[in-house]
Amino acid sequence: GGGGGGERAHAARSLREAVTTRRLTGRAASSVGSMGEVPPPPAAMRDLDPPFPQGAGSARPGLTANKPHAAELRGSELATQHVAPRRKFVLVTNAGVVLIEKARPVDALRELLLDDVHEHLMRFFGAYGQAEAATMCLAVALGACAETPAGRSETDGRATGARVGAGADVGDFFSARTATPAAAAACAERARLALEDPRLTGEPRVEEDVDTVPVREQTGLTPTQTGRFDQFDMGRAIVQPRMHFSGVHAACYTYAARLLAAAWERPVATILSVSARDGGSLGNGMGTHGANAGVPKTVSGLASHARRDRQPLREAVANGAATNGAVGAASAAAGWLGGMLRPGRNVGAPVVCTLPPDALWSLEQRLRPLERFLARRRPRVFSQDENLAAGRSPNLTGQRAYDPRDPKRRRVDPGAARRAEELSLAALRGTLRRAAEASALLRIAGEVGFARVAANLSRTDADALVSGDCTLRLLATSAGGARLASAIVEALMSSLVASGDVAAAEVCAERLQHSCPLFFGGEERRFYRAREQLQCARDARDARDVLLAETKTTEALVALLEVPNAGNLSATLAELADAGCFHGLVALPLCAAAASRRVRGYAGEIGDGENSEAFFAEGALFSPFDPEQRDAGQKAFDDVDRSNSVSMTASSPETCREFICVALRALALGTPDEGAPPGSLGAVCASLSPATRARGLAAMLERVAQASSPSVALAARARLVAVAAEAEAAAAAAARAGAPFLPPPSARNSAALVASVVEQEGASLDDDAFVRRVYQELIALDKDTELLSLPPGPLEQYLAEKGAFAVAQQGGALTQGQAKHLELLAKLYASKQRDGLAARVYFALAERNARGAAVALSERAALFDLAFTKAGGGGGGTNHVNGVSVASNSVESSDQTADAAFVETLDGKIKVLGFQQRLRFAFLERARVAGHHSEIANAALVAASDLERELRPLSDMFNDFARPAEMWEICLEMLHFSRYRDTEGDGAVARALWDELLSSSATNGVREGSKRVALRSACAATKALGPKLFPSDTAFPVAHVALKLELLAAGLWRLEGGEGGGGGNNAAFTSNDAETGEDDVAECVLASTRESFESVHAAYDRLLATPAHRGHHDRTVQRESHLQTPALRLRLLRSALRVLRRWEASLVALSTPNANAFAETAGGGFGSYGGGKER
């Protein structure tokens, strides 16, 4: 044994054997023929080694299911004497048959306790050791080893011979004095006092490496008891402190281990074989488990009440007829048949409990006294000073007194050992309580019908039950076992409620609440009564009584919201969905999440080391002699134990949030999740009609809005109060008129229709994780409209964070998911009339760098258009900060300036993107024309792909794409848009681009063999591009373009790729060509400048100026050597004349509206000097 009796006691116990002889009065036997042992009682054998059910397979390898039990006790007598009676032997002698009983060690202890001699008890403790002797004292104190006198034993009738002598029986020496109730009570009290005597059981201590010579001199203890080191030795190792508990601690743990040895590691359930299934009983009763001796009649009352002399269908019909006549009778019969014919969730071989109900009853009755003893014992929390003050001997264990001021003080407070022992005993008490209640739960389930209960378990729970790992230890000590026990309670109550047997359900609930309150307390009973209300609501719905169904559903939901974690949350939510209570699918999980977090937090605080010590040392440890302290301490311990039990079975906040998302997903899609079993929450929601699912989704989102936003909840509550006031006014008016009036259900109960404070608490857990999870689910379901209908405050923050709006504004890369969140953010702003903010989000989306798949240019263009539309048409979207309008005029003017700058920036971005799109389309067209297998086509496709991948700056598009690809028109437009200025300011870049454009256009005409076609091609290119650039001196030098066209018309511009390549072929046109060329050039220049006569006249003036004038004022034209040739000057003069005539005709037309717009006059007067007409 453990505990601390010392090596001397262990050596004496192992080497010493005491034999006591006693004289037999009467006739002496001269010889003994044979001797045999009387078999022990079947109840004792059942408790020490419970038999497996007949026909049950072994749940674990190595366990024999149907092993026959030998009629003998196995194991040490010390381990079985708390259950087994004294062993009896029958001797057959020549003098007759003699019945002899063998005394147990506990019998000797009872005699010593009645003698009440301390020295005798000290010798007994020294002989058996502190742990074993304390264990026997504990058994006597609990009354576990008390027996009837030998003369009254039920086995006396088996002896056929006469007794030896005429006096007392052989066993009277050990039983006569302890047979009376008074003697038994005295023994129990003295055994309890012996346990509390530190001289016998010791005290908890911490063994440290200290100098123990003075201690030995004071106490007279041996070196073995005080320690091995007498003085300080620098060379030896330092011994770490070790904890030694008292004999009481060892006794409690040893006795508990012996009580639970037979059932602790044994699988509690197994599958029944085929042969046993055909035999009849499926674990519903106790016939296959042996005798029922010792089990009260009330144990099997529920089973007999549920099985014998009952006609539930007839009772249901009678109850329905009494409620609503024939309609109620038909509805009740339909409901009962539907519940009975509904397929179970787990169809397979029957499952039976491996522990007989009578064995479970016996185990429970043996564990309860030990748990009560631990609850009522006086804890050892006194210090050394208190021992001295109370007159108790100090230093009983050879420890030096603890003085914090002593420089050589101990490193460990001696009180820590006492507190550690009390904590350990408190944990043992909780384990024993849960083990007893788990035994009671299994017993009640077996009496109702274990196979029936197992058939109602989910597949996962059923597999866990019969896997072989489900033991009493698992049920009593682990969170998984607590959840499985909760599932067994759920299956047990659901099977009774579904069958319509309300009376049996009430009886079972009462027994569960009394026998195992940790698994089924008052809250659980209220929970299942609410489930019964839901069943009544379904029956009323089947009877077409909508008002009653709604009333019952509301009452059930109100009750469930008060105890949300008292039952199976998933099954209850499925029933609420089937009843059409969709707002309860949000309210109940949120209340469960809040309750779970509170319970887990409380259990965590108590379970913490420092808090637990304070709990047990400063108030929870009560005095058994003070009723008030005892009741307060018992209540505190029950609260802690209950909190621990609930914390192991309650659904976590994450699980509660997932329940809500499962319902949202099933209602939105109409299909349950993959692998969802029939009857689950997702399957029930998906089986509803489309209209019902749409209504349910709207109701759930409305409750989500109330739970996540207190302002929305207040508004809903105000509306409900208004509805209630209207209903009351209508009721009063109806009462005055004498007409009956029934208020609507929404006005009768507001607790189930508006989100409560508890729901808001559950929604706010983990930094509003609930509403974020709902947002995530709605986005995954593409329910944008429903998402944007939720309160905008938290939604805006969520979308901005998930969309990385700050990163997007700084030009960072975004994923497709982040872009989707930003798009929803823009839609949210647009729906709330925040157009300025929506424009900025659209702008960030259009400019984003894509991480992963590239963003198409068409999508970017659409986003830019949306941003431009919102920025230009919203007006005032950005002058709101957090919903508060800014009234300052200076702030408004600055906001308007910022809006104008933003609109200008958007306009520029749109034009730049237009250039990129035109370049891409041009490259694609070039690839199409060139063919798909040529080098030109491949290069064009590569360029188009590069342009599609990301937004390009204007300079990159000009230098890397447009100019190398000889797209002169786009280059000139880019030059005009950028307002480019040469370093020298002479416009050389624009002139070079125009030369390339005119040359390429004219070259195409030369290749066709006609100079006229070449000139017209060049003029057409000028007419197409000029109006886009005019009046831009940077991108459209009019004088230079007119000169190049005149040179081309005069044949003075050598073109690359012309016919023959010589100057003779390009020198002059024919007369017809020349005449046509004169008109073409002048008209072309006028058209390209949008008939700006003043600008064209100024250009020709520059071309006709003298060389000296050009040298001083126009060096850009001075470089042309052909300007002084007669042929070119003649063409310039004719073109200038054409321009002047057109100018005069326009003036005449303006002054005389009815005159011919193109009437030429011989005079050539001009009137006033005006500018050109711009269109």
Q: Are 1081 and 1070 in contact (CB under 8 A)?
A: no
pLDDT on residue 702: 92
Q: Is 207 helix (H, G, I), strand (E, B) or coil?
A: strand
Give the C-alpha separation, 688 to 667, whole Å: 8
Identify the band that residue 624 occupies on the pLDDT scale cut at 50, 70 and 90. very low
Identify the band that residue 815 occupies on the pLDDT scale cut at 50, 70 and 90. confident
- CA-wise closest residue to 777 among 679, 870, 669: 669
Chain segment 1048-1101, per-residue pLDDT in tens? 888 887 765 444 333 334 434 443 444 445 567 888 988 889 888 898 888 888
Q: Which residue has the higher pLDDT, 310 or 905?
A: 905
As a whole number, mean pLDDT of residues 1103-1108 equals 78
pLDDT on residue 984: 64
Q: How far apart, in Å, are the Cα atoms of 848 and each of 436, 543, 604, 845?
A: 66, 60, 47, 5
pLDDT on residue 919: 93
Confidence check: pLDDT of 48 > 80: yes
pLDDT on residue 483: 84
- Which residue blocks in 1030-1159 are alpha helix, DSSP H? 1038-1050, 1063-1066, 1071-1088, 1093-1104, 1107-1113, 1115-1118, 1126-1151
Which residue's structure tokens are 């409209």? 785
- DSSP secondary structure of 255-298: HHHHHHTTTTTSBSEEEBPHHHHHHS--SSSSGGG---TT--TT
Q: How far apart, in Å, are the Cα atoms of 284 and each of 51, 360, 491, 657, 862?
A: 17, 15, 15, 38, 72
Identify the band that residue 1009 occupies on the pLDDT scale cut at 50, 70 and 90. low
Give me the residues paired with residue 97 across strands: 92
As a whole number, mean pLDDT of residues 74-93 equals 83
What would the two tokens of residue 711 be?
Answer: 């302002």
Confidence check: pLDDT of 346 > 70: no
Confidence check: pLDDT of 843 > 80: yes
pLDDT on residue 365: 92
Q: Are 827 and 778 in contact (CB under 8 A)?
A: no
Confidence check: pLDDT of 687 > 50: yes
pLDDT on residue 770: 92
pLDDT on residue 642: 53
As a whole number, mean pLDDT of residues 833-846 equals 90
pLDDT on residue 668: 93
Q: Which residue has the higher pLDDT, 331 or 749?
A: 331
Chain segment 858-902, per-residue pLDDT in tens? 989 999 999 998 887 544 444 433 333 333 344 344 556 667 888
For residue 783, the one-letter residue type is: K
Identify the band that residue 796 occupies on the pLDDT scale cut at 50, 70 and 90. very high
Confidence check: pLDDT of 684 > 70: yes
As a whole number, mean pLDDT of residues 644-653 equals 65
Confidence check: pLDDT of 301 > 50: no
pLDDT on residue 237: 67
Give the C-alpha separation, 564 to 592, whole Å: 5
pLDDT on residue 727: 73
Confidence check: pLDDT of 482 > 90: no
Give the C-alpha separation, 168 to 1090, whole Å: 143
Confidence check: pLDDT of 189 > 80: yes
Identify the band that residue 546 occupies on the pLDDT scale cut at 50, 70 and 90. confident
pLDDT on residue 1059: 40
pLDDT on residue 659: 93
Confidence check: pLDDT of 730 > 50: yes
Identify the band that residue 535 occupies on the pLDDT scale cut at 50, 70 and 90. confident
Question: Omega into 68 within 30° of 0, i.e. cis?
Answer: no
The overall average pLDDT reported for the chain is 74
Q: Which residue has the higher pLDDT, 302 or 931?
A: 931
Most confident of 397-411, 935-949, 995-1009, 1051-1065: 935-949
Confidence check: pLDDT of 190 > 50: yes
As a whole number, mean pLDDT of residues 715-736 equals 78
pLDDT on residue 695: 93
As a whole number, mean pLDDT of residues 944-949 equals 89
Q: What is the value of pTM for the model shown?
A: 0.67
Q: Is 709 helix (H, G, I), strand (E, B) or coil?
A: coil
Confidence check: pLDDT of 666 > 90: yes
Give the C-alpha separation, 643 to 1070, whole Å: 111
pLDDT on residue 577: 92
Give the C-alpha separation, 1114 to 1133, whole Å: 19
As a whole number, mean pLDDT of residues 1010-1034 equals 85
pLDDT on residue 693: 93
As a whole number, mean pLDDT of residues 995-1022 equals 80
pLDDT on residue 1016: 86
Give the C-alpha separation, 1119 to 1102, whole Å: 13
pLDDT on residue 32: 65
pLDDT on residue 180: 79
Q: Are 484 and 458 in contact (CB under 8 A)?
A: no
pLDDT over 90 percentage in the chain: 19
